[in-house]
A and B are shown apart, each in its own frame.
Chain A
Amino acid sequence: MSQKILLSSKEIHIILHRLACQLLENHLDFTNTVLIGIQPRGIFVAERLCDILKTKYGVAHIDLGVLDITFYRDDFRRGDKTLEATKTKINFLIEDKNVVLIDDVLYTGRSINAALTALQSFGRPAEVELLTLIDRRFSRHLPIQPNYRGRQVDAIDGEKVKVLWKENDGKDIIYLIKK
């Protein structure tokens, strides 16, 4: 097993700022836009972006939710292990809102598919966009593409993209792990 650094802490920092600017360009003051981080790892990206938008760009208020997709996944009973749920916390209505779904890595698109189904339980959004930090292209099982992407990478099926965050893992870094 070998691993190479895909993005350093500094590169992640720059990319997050760029993504925040792109969101700002499309959504301005976020009065009709909500950010939803997908559990378990998308919430770190969502929290960082929310923080940058508030502190660097003076956005007064952003609705930020976290969404667990476990009960909506299409691989229930297909693996060896029980799929363990995590917390969902969406304290606002998404009816007629612009929703930005946020995840760390877009791979097959199945998680996003589950997230889109899960979102329906919280109302009918005006529009849903997708933001991912890493987009593993050529590996989609479903016709799903991001509206905002941090970095596009080519990784084959045996490889794994691992995203580490300072608040959870001690440092910001993204590895490409080859088996």
Chain B
Amino acid sequence: MSELSVHHLLGIKYLKESDIQLIFETADHFKEVINRSIKKVPSLRDITIANIFFENSTRTKLSFELAEKRLSADVLNFSASQSSVTKGETLIDTVNNILAMKVDMVVMRHPNPGAGIFLSKHVNAAIINAGDGAHEHPTQALLDSYSIREKLGDVANKNVLIVGDILHSRVALSNIFALKLQGANVKVCGPKTLIPKHIGSLGVGVVSDLKTGLEWCDVANMLRIQNERLDISYFPTTREYTKQFGVNKGLLNSLDKEIVIMHPGPINRGVEITSDVADSKQTIILNQVENGVAIRMAVLYLLASKIK
């Protein structure tokens, strides 16, 4: 297996296990590249990529842009807030206008679930989903699994606990698909109101008590409380959430083993995790960020090689 089974990266759901392994192996090589003094390779010198962000993003956008530049691609950046979208232009029109400028690939973040899938059916370019509403965020899940593989040697048979707002989280859904595909055991933990009712159908267990979950897991992925998506109150107060589902040093020290703490960022310090945990050696948050560039380079490289 030396090429991806897909032409777009719309979600982990559409990938095979062998695709994930190919992305990881390619990312290993790019990780070596980005640790050189000259961090650039010329592979994508004849490829133009548009980063279209209909929703705010800092690290994903920077990470994609850096990955594109490290591969020598030409990059166009587009934010919906400064565009004709505010004048009523449709998604397909916006993208087709951009593609008319001979763009080969589109990296898109959009607030609506399925926006990437819709686009891939209507425009002639390779689409990479950089987050579509509460649906999927595939590159985040890939870099999370890659970071687990790097830290623990393998993803298969590891126990991974995802804590927080599972209901609104595209990171959680993509992570669940990716982890299950690689043979990991997954449980979720959070306020009942933020756990989807049919989560069991994905082969995922639910733990209501955080300490029980932490005792079970090898890795805890602490999701951010996304206040911007919480249109109604799902839990009484942030303080109460922190008390029940926040990780602090005392709680970690009370466990009989050392677990790995992950966070997709941006961190609400003192909410999901305390500062002393965020800055401790148990966390691999900054490794996740570094790996994000390598993973995105791998995805771009492998998808670009299928553009004829």
CB-CB contacts of B6-41 with A at 8 A, as 1s and 0s? Answer: 000000000000000000011011001100111111
Q: How far is the CA of A81 from the CA of B301 in the complex (A)?
A: 13
Q: How far is the CA of A13 from the CA of B4 in the complex (A)?
A: 41
Any B CB within 8 A of the CB of A165: no
Q: How far is the CA of A76 from the CA of B44 in the complex (A)?
A: 8
Please give me the residue from chain A that is nearest to B304 by CB atom.
Answer: A77
Q: Does B38 lie within 8 Å of A72, measured CB to CB?
A: no
Q: Does A84 lie within 8 Å of B38, measured CB to CB?
A: no
Q: What residues of A have a CB within 8 angstroms of the CB of B157 in the complex?
A: none
- Interface size range on B against A: 20 to 34
Q: Does B305 lie within 8 Å of A82, measured CB to CB?
A: yes
Any B CB within 8 A of the CB of A71: yes
A-side interface mostly = loop
Q: What residues of A have a CB within 8 angstroms of the CB of B40 in the complex?
A: 121
CB-CB contacts of A71-99 with B at 8 A, as 1s and 0s? Answer: 11000110001111111110000000000
* Smallest beta-carbon distance B264→chain A, Å: 27
Given A76-B305, A121-B37, A123-B37, A85 and B4 touching (CB < 8 A)? no
Please pick, from B2, B38, B42, the residue contacting A71 in the complex, using a CB distance under 8 A: B42
Q: What residues of A have a CB within 8 angstroms of the CB of B37 in the complex?
A: 121-123
Any B CB within 8 A of the CB of A47: no
Please pick, from A76, A77, A85, A89, the residue contacting B26 in the complex, using a CB distance under 8 A: A85
Given A82-B2, A87-B29, A76 and B43 touching (CB < 8 A)? yes
Q: What residues of B have a CB within 8 angstroms of the CB of A68 in the complex?
A: 29
Q: Given A76-B44, A85-B25, list of 6 further CB < 8 A pairs?
A: A71-B42, A72-B42, A76-B304, A81-B3, A84-B26, A87-B28
Q: Which B residues contact A (CB, under 8 angstroms)?
A: 2-4, 25-26, 28-29, 32-33, 36-44, 46, 71, 301-302, 304-308
Please give me the 9 A-B residue pairs with the lowest Cβ-Cβ distance, nearest first: A71-B41, A82-B3, A121-B38, A85-B29, A82-B305, A84-B2, A71-B43, A121-B36, A76-B43
Q: Which A residues contact B (CB, under 8 angstroms)?
A: 68, 70-72, 76-77, 81-89, 117, 120-123
